[in-house]
Amino acid sequence: MSDADALAKAGEADGVVSADTSVADAAAVVATNTAAVVAAEPPLPKPATWTVRAPIDAWCPTEVEQALGAVLTAEQRARLFARRDAVAAHPTAAVDERSHSYSEHVRTAEWQAVAAARRGRRHAHVGAWCEDASFCALTEQRGVLVVADGAGSAAWSRLGSAIAVDAVGLALRDAAALTEEAVLSAIEHAVTLMRSCADSMKVAPRLLRTTLLAVAWERTADGAVRVVTSQVGDGMLVLAHADGRITQPSIGDAGEWSGEVHCFLPDDETMSRARASTRSYTVSDLAAVLLVTDGVEDALYPFPRHAPSLLSQLVHGVQHPLTGLTAQALMPPVFSAANPGSALLDWLGFEKRGENDDRTLAVALHHSASPTIAPWAPSTSA
């Protein structure tokens, strides 16, 4: 078939070209029809537009408060309700991306600790609560950090994570001796308490499911630092040393895919998982301790490689966005801010394409560490 015949045949199929039409005219008609078909195709979807909504349901409804009040100690109730008041303190008209989040900051002569749990874009978009929780405490002898990530499939995981971090954190703060047995006892206490809370709420314990990472440390008689860690679920804990090294004491209990967790508190398997992960160490040069939930770990993967630059930003401020992030606002140092907890919530607002989960970071810094941590720039670190 000649070119003229082919074009004529194509034109006749459209009903606009006769057998007598010239090759040039037929080509023009077919090109016009093709362009019209292309123009009629639907446009590509627009990039996702994130909204920020205040949660509709109460963080802890009155009837649930009453049920929990019958089970929790006075200090546990005070911490839970202080958290409730903090996350619910934003009127609807003032809701922004960091609204309905929580932070705390403590300091002693030797250490400074700050922890924050920031609501992720995905939860802000649908008007859901942040499901993460954090705890930090310092005494003259001991430091404690705990973070938790409530299971997305559990209706009351925001309460489960808060109950768990407070139960474990307070137990470790007050333990007579800092041992592996003390950590396991604290986690077992949290499991028992969560089940009692579920019974009082008249719900299944699985509706409070949460991960947990905990670390406690204290100075030994010879001047070194004894560190005890435990983990159930995903997230990451790293230790920073005075010489700049980063060590990872334990491996998170996660599956092949991000967010795939095999066991949560207060599952029946909790204590076997905790016993398998609990470790104690003696560290001669501990400079900082960092705990993160998967919302931070996944965005800064692999986390141990990013930990030095992250720590530098907290000490010196954000002068350059971290490598691999989509966007990060420049900002002053977190540790020297007038309100370090609020500053850490701002720092957690970095952007990473595809990473929109709640983000929690708890970090403690030894007073001697700041002068040894150099300002970070892309040319000097990953």
Q: Which of helix, strand or coil describes residue 214?
A: strand
Structure confidence by residue, pLDDT tens digits, 197-213: 999 999 999 999 999 99
Paired strand residues for 254: 261
Q: What is residue 39's predicted lDDT score, i.e. its pLDDT? A: 54
pLDDT at 287 > cutoff 70: yes
Angstrom distance (rounded) from CA 94 to CA 100: 11
Q: Which of helix, strand or coil describes residue 26?
A: helix
Q: What is the mean pLDDT of residues 227-255?
A: 89
The two three-digit tokens of residue 80, written as one number: 């839970």
Angstrom distance (rounded) from CA 274 to CA 356: 28
Q: What is residue 120's predicted lDDT score, i.e. its pLDDT? A: 96
Domains in the chain (CATH in brackets) are 62-372 (3.60.40.10)
Structure confidence by residue, pLDDT tens digits, 76-131: 999 999 999 999 887 666 788 889 999 999 999 999 999 999 999 999 999 999 99
Q: What is the mean pLDDT of residues 3-21?
A: 48
Q: What is residue 41's predicted lDDT score, i.e. its pLDDT? A: 66
Angstrom distance (rounded) from CA 226 to CA 216: 8
pLDDT at 31 > cutoff 90: no
Task: Please give the residue that has the higher pLDDT: either 299 or 254.
Answer: 299
Residue 260's pLDDT band (cuts 50, 70, 90): confident
In this structure, what is the dihedral angle of CA atoms 30, 32, 33, 39, given to the nearest 10 degrees?
Answer: 140
What residues have CB less than 8 Å from 18, skipping those under 6 apart? 8, 11, 12
Task: Please give the residue that has the higher pLDDT: either 102 or 15.
Answer: 102
Q: What is the mean pLDDT of residues 243-252?
A: 87
Cα 37 off chain centre by? 47
Q: What is residue 209's predicted lDDT score, i.e. its pLDDT? A: 98
Q: What is residue 49's predicted lDDT score, i.e. its pLDDT? A: 86
Q: What is the mean pLDDT of the chain?
A: 89
Task: Please give the residue that has the higher pLDDT: either 325 or 22.
Answer: 325
pLDDT at 22 > cutoff 70: no
CB 189 within 8 A of CB 167: yes
Residue 259's pLDDT band (cuts 50, 70, 90): low
CB 23 within 8 A of CB 4: yes
Angstrom distance (rounded) from CA 275 to CA 254: 16
Can the peptide bond before residue 302 be classed as cis, meaning omega within 30 degrees of 0?
A: yes
Look at strands 111-118 and 132-138 and give their pairing.
unpaired
Which residue is listed with tokens 């009155």?
A: 62
What residues have CB less than 8 Å from 14, skipping those under 6 apart? 29, 30, 33
